Amino acid sequence: MTTESKRVEDVVKTEVPPLALPPTTYGPIAATTHVEAAMGERILDVRNFSVDYGWGENAVRAVDDVDLHLDRSKVLGIAGESGSGKSTLVYAITRLLRAPGVIKGGEARFNLGTDDDVEHVIDLVNASERELRSVRWSSISIVLQSALSALNPVVRVGSQFEEVLKAHRKDMSKHQRRARAKELLAMVGLDEDRLDRFPHELSGGQRQRIMIALALTLDPQLVIMDEPTTALDVVTQREIIGELFELRAQFGFAMIFITHDLSLLTELADEIVVMYAGALVERATARELYETPRHPYTLGLLKSFPPMHGERSELSGIPGSPPDLAHLPTGCRFHPRCPYAMERCTNESPPLVEIKGTDRSVACWLQVGDVGVAVPVELSRVSSSGNAPSGSFKEVTP
Amino acid sequence: MKSFRFPRSPKVIVGIIVLGFFVLLMIFGPYLAPFNPNNTSFAPNLTPSAHHWFGTTSLGQDIFSQTLVGARATMIVAGIAGLVATTLSMVIGVAAGYLGGFTDDGLSLMSNVFLALPGLPLLIVIDSYLPVNSRSNSLVIGLIISLTGWAWGARVLRAQTMSLRNRDFVESSRIIGEKRIRIMFTEVAPNLLPILAASLLFTILYSIGAYVTLAYIGLTSTSVWNWGTMLFWAQANNAPLSGEWYWFVPPGICIALVGTSLALLNFGIDEFINPRLRAGGLSGRQRRRLGMPRRQRLGLTPVVRSVVTAPRITTTQNPVTS
Amino acid sequence: MRLIGHRLALYALTFWVAITVNFLLPHFMPGNPIQTMIGKLTGTVTPAEIRAIRLSFGGGLNQSLLSQYFTYIGQLAHGNLGFSLTLSENVSTALRDYVPWTLGLIGVATIISFLVGTTCGALLGWTRGSRLDSLIPTATFFQATPYFFLATVMLLVFASKLHWFPVLGAYNNLELHPGWTWAFVLSVLRYGQLPVISIVLSSIAGWMLGMRNMMITMVAEDFVLMAIAMGLPKRKVIWAAARNAVLPSIANLSLAIGLVVSGALIVELVFNYPGVGDLLLNAVQSQDYPLIQGIFLCITLTVLAANLLADVVYLILDPRTRTEVSR
C-alpha cells in the first residue's frame, strides 16, 4: 500500500497532542472464571461456532462449526460469496445478529487485556446484556457497509460521537468530548465543521470516514469492518483503505475484515479464512493463500478478481451458484461446482485438516493423503489453451 | 403480481367473519325484524325482555327491529360513499402520479385543498342547505360524504403510482409503444390493488362515521331508519341520563363492530403490503419451550445449544489442533 | 423555508375555497334558502337586522353575483362573519365566548392523545410480541366507535351511575362565574376530565398504530443496530428509533386533526360543553345559516392554523427536508 494519505500523517504527527482519551478501565467485568489456558496474545478465540436461521424443522444452518483466532493488532480477513455466512458469523459472535438468527453452539472469548497479571476475558456467548454493553465499542467496534443507513438521519454527526462518549466515558466533560470528536475527525482527514452536518449532507466517502472515526472513538482493541468499501467507487475505496491501515499502524487495533473481494484481502490481511455455504474451507496466511491456494474454491475466488499488482492473468468465474442452505449437496458442499471433484467428494464431507508443518488448514479431499498425512497439492494458476470446456481450472492430479 | 395467499392472521379472519355477518344483516335485516320499527304501539321504555330483545323506546317502538332495519341504510350509504370516494381517489391519484407535469400539479393541489378542509364541518354546511326531501335520498348523502373523503386515498395512490411509474416493467411497456392510458390500467393498476383495498376499507369506515354523525345531529331524514337516527332519538329523549342504555348501546355497538372489522381487515392488508409487520416467528411460550428468552431482544442474539448429533463424516485425519 | 411558503400558500388557497363554498352554497342550492329564510323572518325582526342578515350572504339580491361575492369577502375582511338570528347578535361576537372552550378541549385532548399514543406505539413497536400487543385490538375497537357514542357511554357509566365525574357543562355554573380564580380553574379542570378522556380514547388508536408500524420498520434499520453496537443504553436506542418513527405521524397530522376536531365537536353535544359544537348544533336545527357559515369558517381557520404548525414542527424535526424541496 502506498502512503497516499500523507496529510493524515502530517496532521496526526504535528498538530494533535496524544490521545485525549484517558486510559481505559475494565468496567463491570471482573476477571472471568478460570480458563483452560491464558489467551496471551490472542484477543479473539472462537471455537465450534454454529448459527442457525429459524427454529425447529425450518432451521437453516448458516454457520457450521467454525473456528476463528485473532491475535492482538493482527488483521484477519474473512472472504466468501454472499450467503457464505461470513457476516452472520461475525455478528453472531458479537451477539448483534438479528432475528431469526440463533447461536446453536460453540464459544467465543474475547481478551480485554491484562491488568496486574490478571487476564480479563469475556465469554461473549454467555455474557449478560450489561457486560456486553460495557465491552461494545470500548473494546469491539464495527464499521458497517452502508454509512448512510448506519447513521441516524435526523441528528447531526457530532451528536453520534457525543452519545458514544457520554455512554462510556462519564468522566469526560462536554468540552473534552468535543475535543475528542475533533481529534478523531482530524485523524481521518475531515474538518471539524463536519460535526455539525447531517449524514445526508455528506458524500459517501466522507460518511465512511466518519464511520471509521466513530469506530475508533474509544480506542478499541478490535475493529470489525463489514464490507466497508463495497458501496464506494474504486478510487475512494483505495483512499479509505489506505487511511485505515495508517490508523491501524498507529493505534495498533486488530481488525476483522469481511469482504467478497479476496484479492483485496491478500494485500491487507495477515491471515485469511475462506467460507463457503456456512463452513470454513481454508485458512492460511495471506501470502500462502495467494501463492499456493489449496482449496479449489479459493482458487476460483482468486481468479475472479483482477489482482491489484502482479502480472495479468485470465479472469474466470466459478460456474454455478452457491447452494441453498436448506438443501446442501451431499458430501462436500462445493463439489457440484468444483472442477477437481472426485467420487469421494460426492459422498463424504471433508473435515478441516491442518497441513502438517504449516499453520494452515483446508477442507478438501484433494489435500488429504491416504496415510494420514496431508499432502499439499498444487492447484495451478496458469491458464492454458488446453483447458477443459468449463474453462476454469487446469486439471492437476495429486 | 404477487400470488395471493389467504391470510392466516386471526385478526383478519375475525374481521371477515364480523363484516360478513353485518353484510348479511344488511341484506336480510328488514325481513328478519319482528316488528315495524315505526310502530309505537308497545309500552314505552321497556328494558330488554324475551318479547323485546332490546327493549322499547320512549315512544314505544321496538329497538331490536330498529337495529335490524337500520343496518341496511347505514351500510348502504357507507358502501356507496366508500366506493365513490375510492373511485375518485383512484382516478385522480393515478392520473396525477402517472401523467405528471401540470396535470399532477393541478390535481395534487386539489387533493391537498380537500385534505386540509375539515370534513365534518363542511358536510354539515352542505347538508344543512339541502332541501329536506333530498335528505332522505341515500345516494345524495352518500355522494356528499364521498366528496369529503377521497383526498387521502388520492394522495397515497399518487405516491404509489409515482414509485411504480419508474419501475422497469412499466418502462418496457412504454418503450414498446403502448398508449399511456392502457399502461395505466393494465400495468400499474394491478399493483395498486392492495392499497386500493386498504383505501376502500378506510373510506367506508370514515363514511359510516360521517353518516352516523350527520344523523345524530339530525341532518338526515328521520323517516329513514339508520343507526345514527336511533342515537339521535335516544339523545333527544335524554336516554343516557335516564339510564336507558338499551336504547343507544345496540346501535352504537353495531357501528363499533362494523368499524372494528373494517380496521382488522385493514391490518391484514397492511401486513400484506409491508412484510415486516407480519407476525411471523414464534409466540412467547413456544420460545420458552425451545430454550430461548421470551422475547427477541435486539443486541442479544439468543443461544440455544442443540443436542449433540453424530458428525457427518466417519473418518478424520489430522483433526484440527488448536 | 420555501416549503413553509408553499404550505402557507396552500392553506391560504384552501381558506379561499372554503369562503367561496360558503358563499356559493346558499345561492345555488335548490329551494333558494336565502329567500326562504328572509321570507320567514319578515315581520318578526327589525329591518336593520334583515339588512345585517342579507349582508351575511353578500348583500342585496338585486346586485350581480360577482359584486355580492366581493361584498361578502369585504365583510369577512372586516371580521364580520354575519348576523345570527337565533342569538340576535353578530356571529363574531357570539363566537368569542364559545371558541376558547372548544380550543381548550380539543387542544388538551389532542396533545394528550398524541403524546400517550405515540409513546405507547413506540413501546409496542419495540417490544414486539409481548403481552402488550393485546392493547391494539382494544384501542382499535375504541377508535371504530363514533366519538359521541363512546362519550355517551362514558357519561352514563362514569358520571351518571358511578358519580365519579360531574355530569354536564364546563364548570359548576350554579356557583361559579368565569374568571381567573382558583376555584374556577379547578372546576373547569374537574368538569373537563370526562370529555377529554372520551376524546383521547377515541383518537389514541390512530397514533398508537401508526407509531407502532413505523417503529417496527425503524428497528429493522441499520442505525438502530449501530446504536446497540455502540453500547448505548436501551432508552437512547429506543429514542433514536422513535425520533425517526414519529415523522410520518406528524406528516399525517392534517388528516388526524380533521378527524379529531369533527369528533370533538360532537362530544361537546353529549356533555353540554359550551363550545362551538353546541352552537353549531343549535344553528343547524334552527337553520340559522349565517351562524353555520361563520362557525364553519372559524373551524376551518383553526384547522389550517394547526396544520401549519404541524408543518413547521415537521420541518424542525426532519433535517432532510431542509436541503431538498420535496414535491
- The pLDDT of residue A383: 40
Quick one: CA dihedral B173, B179, B180, B181, positive or negative? negative
Residue B300: closest C-alpha in chain C: C228
Spatial separation of the C-alpha atoms in residues B266 and C240, rounded to whole Å = 28
The length of chain C is: 327
The answer on pLDDT for C120 being more than 60 is: yes
Residue B180 belongs to domain spanning: 10-290
Q: Which residues of C touch A163 (CB under 8 A)?
A: 227, 230, 232, 236
% of chain A at pLDDT higher than 90: 25
| DSSP secondary structure of B224-276 | S--HHHHHHHHHHTTHHHHT-HHHHHHHHHHHHHHHHHHHHHHHHHHHHH-GG
Average pLDDT, chain C: 81
Please indicate, yes or no, if residue B62 is contained in any of the structural domains. Answer: yes
pLDDT recorded at residue A375: 53
Instruction: Give the CA distances from residue A190 to residues A184, A205, A220, B107, in Å, rounded to whole numbers and listed in that order.
Output: 9, 11, 21, 46
Q: Is A142 helix (H, G, I), strand (E, B) or coil?
A: strand
pLDDT in tens, A8-41: 333 333 333 344 454 444 444 433 444 445 667 8
Q: What's the pLDDT tens digit per position in B197-247? A: 888 988 998 898 888 888 888 887 777 788 888 888 888 887 777 777 788
Report which secondary-structure segment, H or E, holds A385. none
pLDDT attached to residue A310: 64
- The structural domain count of chain B equals 1
Residue C223 — pLDDT band, cuts 50, 70, 90?
Answer: very high
Show the cell assigned to A319: 460456474
In a domain, B186, yes or no: yes
Tell me what pLDDT residue A308 has.
60
End-to-end CA distance of chain B: 53
- Cell 334558502 identifies what position? C33
Give, as one character, the DSSP assignment of residue B317: S
Give B178-202 pLDDT, tens digit per residue: 777 777 677 766 778 888 888 898 8
What is the DSSP track for A296-339? HHHHHHHHHS--SSS--------SS-PPPTTSPPSSSTTGGG-T
Residue C119 has pLDDT above 90, yes or no: yes
Q: Give the count of beta carbons closer than 10 Å to the beta carbon of residue C62.
A: 6
Residue A364 falls inside a structural domain: yes
Residue B216: predicted pLDDT: 86
User: Chain C within 8 Å of B122 (Cβ-Cβ)?
Assistant: yes
Burial label, C88 (beta-carbon count in 10 A; 0-12, 13-18, 19+) = exposed
CB A203 within 8 A of CB A232: no
Chain pair A-C, CB pairs under 8 angstroms: 75
In DSSP notation, C256-319 reads HHHHHHHHHHHHHHHHT-SSHHHHHHHHHHTT-HHHHHHHHHHHHHHHHHHHHHHHHHHHHH-T
- How close A12 comes to chain C (CA, Å)? 25
C138/B contact by beta carbon, under 8 A:
no
Most trustworthy range by pLDDT among A374-383, B11-20, C31-40: B11-20
* Better pLDDT: A389 or C212: C212
Is the predicted pLDDT of residue C158 greater than 60, yes or no? yes
Q: Give the nearest partner residue to C262 out of B109, B115, B118, using CB atoms.
A: B118
Does residue B212 contact residue B224 with C-beta atoms inside 8 Å?
Answer: no
Task: List, for residues B265-307, the tens digit of each pLDDT value.
Answer: 888 887 777 777 766 566 666 677 766 766 778 888 888 876 5
pLDDT of residue C216: 87
Nearest to C205 by CA among C115, C138, C130, C122: C138
Asked if the model's pLDDT at residue A242 lies above 50, the reply is: yes
Does residue C181 surpass a pLDDT of 80?
Answer: no
**Would you say residue B158 lies in a domain?**
yes
Please name which of A14, A68, A279, A22 lies closest in space to residue A171, comparing C-alpha atoms: A22
**Mean pLDDT estimate for chain B:** 78
Residue A395: its pLDDT value, please?
34
Region C120-146: mean pLDDT is: 82
Question: Touching B: which chains, 3+ CB pairs < 8 A?
Answer: A, C
According to DSSP, the β-strands at A361-362 and A279-285 are: antiparallel
Instruction: Say if A149 is an interface residue toward chain C (CB within 8 Å).
Output: yes
| Bridge partners of residue A279, in order along the sequence | A276
Cα–Cα separations (whole angstroms), residue B165 to A334, B178, C187, C325: 42, 14, 58, 21
In a 13 Å sphere around the CA of A131, the CA atoms on its Cβ side amount to: 18
Tell me if residue A294 falls in helix, strand or coil.
Answer: coil
User: Is 0.95 exceeded by the ipTM?
Assistant: no
Instruction: Encode pLDDT of C241-256 as tens digits.
Output: 999 999 888 888 777 8
Residue A94: the pLDDT is 92
Cβ A167–C226 below 8 Å, yes or no?
Answer: no
Residues 149-188 of B with CB under 8 A from C: 152
In-domain check, residue A73: no
Residue C237 has pLDDT above 60, yes or no: yes
Chain A residues with beta carbon closer than 8 angstroms to that of C231: 132-138, 164, 167-168
- Please tell me the total count of domains within chain A: 1
Return d(Cα C201, Cα A135) in angstroms, integer. 44
Q: Give pLDDT, residue A390.
A: 35
Helix (H, G, I), strand (E, B) or coil at B163: helix
d(CA A310, CA A287): 13
- Paired with C3 in beta bridges are none
Q: Do C17 and B117 touch (CB under 8 A)?
A: yes
Cell triple for B5: 395467499
pTM for the predicted model, two decimal places: 0.81
Q: What percent of chain C has pLDDT over 70?
A: 92
**Residue A107 pLDDT > 60:** yes
Strands laid side by side in the A118-123 sheet: A60-71, A42-53, A101-115, A118-123
Give the count of beta carbons closer than 10 Å to the beta carbon of residue B37: 21
What is the average per-residue pLDDT within C269-298? 83
* Chain C contact present for B113, CB below 8 A: yes
Q: Using alpha carbons only, what angle is made at residue B53 by residues B47 and B56, rounded to the nearest 5 degrees? A: 45
Cα torsion angle, C45, C51, C54, C56, sign: negative
Q: What is the pLDDT of residue C173?
A: 66
Tell me the pairing of strands A271-276 and C89-90: unpaired
Helix intervals (H) in chain C? 2-28, 33-41, 47-57, 65-77, 91-126, 135-144, 147-154, 182-219, 222-229, 234-251, 253-271, 276-285, 289-317, 320-323
Residue among B126, B241, B256 minimizing CB distance to C145: B256
Q: Which amino acid is at B144?
A: I
Residue A349 covered by a domain: yes
Instruction: Copy the grid coordinates of residue C81.
Output: 362573519
Test A349 with B282 for CB contact under 8 angstroms.
no
Pair C244, A152: CB distance under 8 Å = yes
B302: chain A residues, CB-CB within 8 Å:
102-103
Q: Which residues of C touch A122 (CB under 8 A)?
A: none
β-partners of residue A51 are A63, A103
Domain of residue B73, CATH code: 1.10.3720.10
pLDDT 10s digits, A42-78: 899 999 999 998 877 778 899 999 999 999 889 999 9
Q: Pick the more confident residue, A331 or B100.
A: A331
Q: Could you give the CA distance from residue A91 to residue A78 in angstroms, rounded to a whole number?
A: 13
Contacts of A among chains (3+ CB pairs under 8 A): B, C
Domain that holds residue A373: 286-305+328-395
- Residue of chain A whose alpha carbon sits nearest to that of B302: A102
Touching C (3+ Cβ pairs <8 A), the chains are A, B
- Going along chain C from its start, the domains and CATH numbers come out as 2-89 (no CATH), 98-316 (1.10.3720.10)
Residues B137-146 have pLDDT tens digits of 778 888 888 8
Q: Which residues of B89-122 are buried (b: 16+ CB within 10 A; e: fewer)?
A: bbebbbbbbbbeeeebeebbebbbbbbbbbbbbb
Helix (H, G, I), strand (E, B) or coil at A362: strand
Confidence band, pLDDT 50/70/90 cuts, at residue C61: low
